[in-house]
Structure formats: C-alpha cells, structure tokens
Structure 1
C-alpha cells in the first residue's frame, strides 16, 4: 500500500516537472526581434526600427528611443508572412533624418508585454537625396498616409462618433480604408466612460460589411487612442475598428448610421451617439479589365549580371506600393533553351498606415544560364496591373540584362551541384524565425499530449 502511494506521488511529481519544462520551452519559442529595416537611407526617406514577435496576442511595444539628429514621427503595425506561412506581427517606429552623415544608434531596451529585449546598437548612413530620379513610391505613400482623408466625418461637436473613409469612390480592387471612432474635444465639459463595449462594437462591425471583397483587418484588439486636430481644435480619438476592403464587384456601398452608447458619469445616464450614414461608389474597371488595381513599383536585386554558362544567379523582385497583396502574383517565367528558372520563395510584409496599407511582396528565383548571350529579364519578369492614378493598364518590367558567356551546356537539371547549392540557400527566412516557429509547434504538441496522458490517468483512477 505504501509503495502504491509512493508510486502515485512520484508519477504526479514527474508529470508536474514535465509540465513546467514544456511551459518554459513554449515560452522560449515566443521570441522578440529588434531590427533596422535599412542601414543606409536617403535624406528624404525614413529610418525604420522594427519590433517583430511571434506572440499570437501581440499588442504593441514600448520603449522606442529619441535619436539625436532624427525626428521621431509615426508608428505603423506590421505583419510579415514567410514562404512557409509563418506570421510575425510587429510595430515599426519611423524617424525622419534631419541631416546627412554617419550616425550611431545607441543601445536601448524594448518591452513587449512582460518580456524585454535589448537592441545592441547599430550605425546608419544618411545620404543626400538624389535629383532627377524616379519617384520613390514608398516615400510618397508614407507622406500621403499621414494626412488622413476623413470622408464622412460630419459636423464637429464636443463629443461625437464617426465612421470615416479614405475616399468616397474607388475602382474595383482599389482600397477602401474605414475606421470607426469616438472623438472627444480636449477641454470638453463632460466626463465619459465606455459602456458594454465588446457587445456594442461586435454589433457595429456586423453593419460594416462588404460581401464581395477581400478584407485586411487592422486587428485592434483594444481601443487605440491618439490626438487629432480638426478645424484647429484638438480631439482625443478612441479608435474601435479599422479595416481595409478591396471590392471585387462594382456597386454603391451604403453603410447605415452607427450607434454607440457611452456613460455620462456626472449625470449617471447613457448617452446615445450616432455616426452619419456613409456611401461609397465602387466603379467598374474600364473595358471589363480583370487585372490587379493599385499603385505599384518594382525593385530588383541580383547577385551577378555577368556569368558563365553552367552558373546560376539568385534574383529577387520586390513589388512595393498599395494594392490587394493577397491577389498579387507574378506570372511564372518560362524556362527555355537559354535560361532555366526556379521559384524559391515568396514573402510579404504589410505596413498598416493610418489611412492605407502599404505592402512589399518579394519573389525569389534561381536562374541557371545554359547558352551564351544577352538576356533582357523584362521578357521573363513582368506584372500588368490597372494603375488607379492614370486609370489605364500599366506593366512593371525588369530593367536588368543578364550577360552570359562560355560554351553552351549539353545538359540542364537540378542535379547540377552549383544550382542545387543555390536552391538550398535560397530560403533566407531568418533562421531564428524558422527555429522558434518549429519549437513553438513542438512544445504545443507535447503539452497537448501531456494533457491527454493526465486525462487518461485521472479517468483510470476514477474507474478503479
């Protein structure tokens, strides 16, 4: 009898220790990364410090520093999706450089939830802005995003709610960015409290629904607050909902007046606030065009432009701008007797700005040279889309020319040792991200297995 009790105690102790170990392992798999988006920028661009986390309930970061010779400006939320479908969420703090030169970013500490991470410091270079070059679309979109177009705001009062949009008419596929918020004047003679907010916001969101569309939610799990100046008056804005919609069919989208009840703490009664109804015209694309709609640019990175037959290059295309990136895909390049193409990875980063979503979608390829010659890559890599500014079809094309010298290859296959090496290295998703994602899944699986074992033991003892 004594040995049976001792055995049970030992079993319970072992299970408890295993549970603690797996919990720690799962905690280890939840990681925070701090990084600079770029270490070399132009004076008309922004220095961007990013905090990325694989926490499923990531809600923000605290501790972004002031940096000498830079103006601390706006923040945006990030969502990075790897080629493996792993999602990392984060915050990006933007800084405007005040002069050119070489600068030291000192060490600082960032807090995410209860966890802290230290940035060890980096050097950055700010160069003079070039003249007479192609307009940097990303910089242009970033500046535009800071000036919010609050279509549907209505008449300003000390306290009011509004459903606002970034536009009152769009083409099919163009972004409609909506947000619903409470506005309270800075010195308003009233004390308010939010009332039964979860239920109210759920009802409101159900009324902001565009059936035939793709939606990118901003994921406001808690109330987002900021200050905004409207007609020279400062308001505190409590943002409850924000989302981007990309309609797939033309129609007139009518959104009814939305009601939010708040508690007047002085009078101890509920105050009913209503937004104005909002109508947005979604226009068909000209001549039944079916292409992606947006404002886009192509960026290219290649390891070498001059190679020998039998050699391969690593090539990356970044499509940047504003569009429905879920629909954005490059036509696959066709291999021939001269060049052979292998798609290796696709990644996507969405920056959720105040009034629109700016994205970068990266496509990576390995190119094997089989015969000598000059090969304009525009013949293989291009993207046709409907330009919402010019209101016509535009085509982004590669501007690079690959020069190949040497004797023609008698064969071409994945058995080529150099090509195989390139492909094995092509997935450059940060190793930390892949490792922590695997660790998290392993820890979660083991915890689930442990739970089933404990449940089985409990039920067995209960039957006895």
Structure 2
C-alpha cells in the first residue's frame, strides 16, 4: 500500500505541475495604456499584446482630443524558461500631443483576433517638454580615461583636433513618387571603419525631438518604424566600409501633389580632441562638440493619371484573397463573404469596396480588420472586409458583378481592379417582394379593406366650391378697404 500511495502521489504532482505550466502559458490578449503624465515632446502609446498566440487582426485605435496619431509599430518576442516556450506579439499606436493640458481618453472597445477588448480610458496630463536620454552606442568605445580622476589632470597638455570620417544623412528609397506612394525615409549617422576621431552621441533624445519637428512633412501620412535601440550595421558606400547608426526611420505617403522636402538638419556630437603627446598618467583627450549637418533633399510628387476616381482610390501594390462559407445558397438564408486586400502600401487608407446587391442580394455593412507590418524598410499588411449577405432571387451569379475594388499601382503606373472570382448558385423561391410586404404602408392603405368600391358623383360638392370662392373674395375686399383707409 505504501508503494502504491507513493506512486499515486508522484502521478498527482506530475499532473498538477503540467496543469500549472498550461495555465502559465495560456493564451491572453491585453491592452496597455501609456503613463498618466508626459512631456509635450514625448510620445504617448496604446499597446495591444497577444501572448502565446499570433496577432492576426485588430480594429481601429481610438482618437484622443489634444493628440495626433503618428502611426503604429509592431514587435514580437520569444522566451524559453525551464524548457517551456512562451511568445508574444504586440502592436503599438503612437500619439503626439498637440499642446499642453489635461486630456481624457474615453472608454473604448477594440476588436482583436475576433475578440472584443474593453478599456476604461484614462486622463492624460501633458506638461512642458522634458529632457530625455538615450543609450549611446559609442560610449563603450570612447569612455572616459579611468586614470583621469585617480592621477589628476595635466593642464599643460596640448590637444589636437583629428579630422573625422563621419557624416549625417537623410536618405530616401525613391527620388520621385506618385500621390499616395510610400517614401521610406531614414535619418542615419555614418562612421567610416577608418575613422580615428573619438565620437559620442550627446543628448540624443532632446535633439531628435527637435529634428523630427523639421523633418516630418505636413502633407504626408506617417508610418513610423519606432527605433528603440540604436545599433550599428555594416554598410558599403562607394567601395568604403561604414557603420550605419539608424536614428529614425518612417514611410511617408504624400496626401497631395506638393513635393516632399526634407530640410538640412543638424546633430551635435561629442568629439574629443586627443593629446599631442599622450602619457600614461596624464589626460589624453579633451571633450569638445561638433555639429554634423545633413544635406537637404526633395522628393518629387507626381499627380495620379486622369481617372474618374483618382481622388478616392488607394495607391499601392495589392492582391485579393477572398473567402465564402458556401457557394450553394438558398433564398432568404444568410451567408458570409470576406474580401481581403493585402500587399504593400498605406493600409490605413484602404477603403471598403462599394457594393450594390441590386434585386438579387442584400449586403450589410462589413466588419473591418486591419493588420500592418513594418519590416525590412517596407510597410505591408492587409485589410479585411467581412460581409453578411442574404440572397433574394434564385439563379447563378458571378460576384465580380458586385465586388470590385479599384486602386492605382505605382509599379506599373496603371489603375487596376481587384474583382471577385467567386460564382454562387442560389436556389429557392423569389423573395425580393418580401421586404415590401413586411413593411407598414400607413393608415391610408389600412382603410382599403373597410371601404367599398362604388363610384360617387362629385357634383354635390360644387356649392361648397362656390361658397369658398365667395368667402375668399370677401376677405380680399375687406383687406383692401382697410389698407386704403390707412
């Protein structure tokens, strides 16, 4: 009995441990709101996180009075703890305050992975600009001399300035674009592998906040890659090896045909002067500052070719993925149809197709889901429109007659149309008049069943007309007499 008891106890412990692990790594979706107080030059965020499941789709983020949406960014992470794998995916909407003050985010709901999440909202206080610090990738290479504080400083040391082989640049992936076409823009600091001048970032957070006020075009929608850590990447420029430090990256979509201009911006760096005759015990470098300026850059924006819908269509390289729950339908019975647009472009600007079911179908306003990915200098994603429909007439129908979506493809410089390829068979009796019969036609029609259909002469009403005319003439005469007396 003792052996059996011990075995049962071990088995129970194993089951409890396994059940606990499953609970620890259960699927969960959550909403995280930004802090209660921020500075005017800081970003406030709303983050949706899906743990141990893929973030497949999500709805629109709420608008906040006193803030402007600056676009979303996404991230993912995987952890292995005690042999157990857990993962999470998140998407973050960034908001930029337009002024100082206290603002209220009202309670809101958002659809995530076909689930409705609720948030109680929040009160956000926006104060004066604050100074922010950012991790300096150069600091580990150009740290202070550890002997300076211990042995003192030699005030007679002569320092010289070494010419640096580094520069600041704003780069774009295109020189000209159409209205609505994306421009991948990157602000980077480049340091040659042959550089010998010690350099270090200085007060980068505050400087970047001021730089972005100049570099962000007003006539464009922004999708920000939200660079959090500045890491060096090797790159080859005209046969010479450099290390590129990306400071900021975004895709801009011009909203009109005005050219996009990126002005020259300056970034102040700490540049050390080095001792002419370095010694082991003395101070061998001296802190100094130098400002690096980028060159101004202009991207030409071309209007879209003539088209009746050129001011309404989306711009990008898109494809269609459609789904329907069944292609064999019966009149009066509902079905679902999903029109999913995916590809490269400004997914946020993709609008729903204009659908008219005519006398054959009733289509209701769709549920909309959106997914945006920012990766490898491109913005891609999808926007799905899920329709609920009811057929009214039997027959064979091609959905391309009802579902079409026109867009402009900048790669081919042509307008294109995404059309459904689904064909459905509808059986049953006609139901197009059911809606008319079910409506209340009013009291006039309700009295029809109670009235007879005998014809009546209207001559008996002639004396009423004569009396009414005499009364009107008498009233006019009286009015004229009163006016003339006055």
Is the TM-score greater than 0.5? yes
- Residue equivalent to 2:184: 177
TM-score, with structure 2 as normaliser: 0.54
Distance across 2 between alignment mates of 1:190 and 1:259: 19
1:272 aligns with 2:287: no
* Structure whose CA Rg is larger: 2
Alignment of 1:158-307 (within 5 A): 158-185=165-192, 188-220=195-227, 222-231=228-237, 235-265=242-272, 266-287=285-306, 289-290=310-311, 291-307=313-329
Distance 1:33 1:387, change over 3 A: farther
Distance across 2 between alignment mates of 1:384 and 1:372: 29
SS of 1:205 mapped into structure 2: helix
Are 1:52 and 1:91, in contact at CA under 8 Å, matched by a contact in 2?
no
Report deviation, 1:332.
3.3
Report deviation, 1:363.
0.6
Unaligned 5+ residue runs, structure 2? 1-23, 35-44, 48-54, 64-70, 91-163, 273-284, 439-486
Distance across 2 between alignment mates of 1:228 and 1:206: 29
Report deviation, 1:275.
1.6
Q: Show CA shifts across 1:308-352 (max 9, x none).
A: 222222111111112222221123312332211112410111111
SS of 1:272 mapped into structure 2: strand
- Residue equivalent to 2:361: 339
Q: Show CA shifts across 1:226-272 (max 9, x none).
A: 52322466544332222221112223333222211111354411132
SS of 2:326 mapped into structure 1: coil
SS of 1:314 mapped into structure 2: strand
Distance across 2 between alignment mates of 1:109 and 1:190: 44
Distance across 2 between alignment mates of 1:338 and 1:287: 33
SS of 2:355 mapped into structure 1: coil
TM-score, with structure 1 as normaliser: 0.56
- How many residue pairs end up in the alignment? 298
1:90 aligns with 2:90: no
Distance 1:327 1:59, change over 3 A: closer
Q: Show CA shifts across 1:150-174 (max 9, x none).
A: xxxxxxx842221111111001111
**Aligned with 1:411 (options 431, 434, 450):** 434
1:361 aligns with 2:368: no
Distance across 1 between alignment mates of 2:253 and 2:188: 21
Distance across 2 between alignment mates of 1:217 and 1:411: 51
Unaligned 5+ residue runs, structure 1? 1-31, 36-50, 61-77, 95-105, 114-156, 416-464
Q: Which moved more, 1:258-267 or 1:396-405?
A: 258-267
Distance 1:263 1:244, change over 3 A: same
What is the root-mean-square deviation in Å for CA atoms of aligned residues? 3.7
**Aligned with 2:399 (options 373, 377, 391):** 377
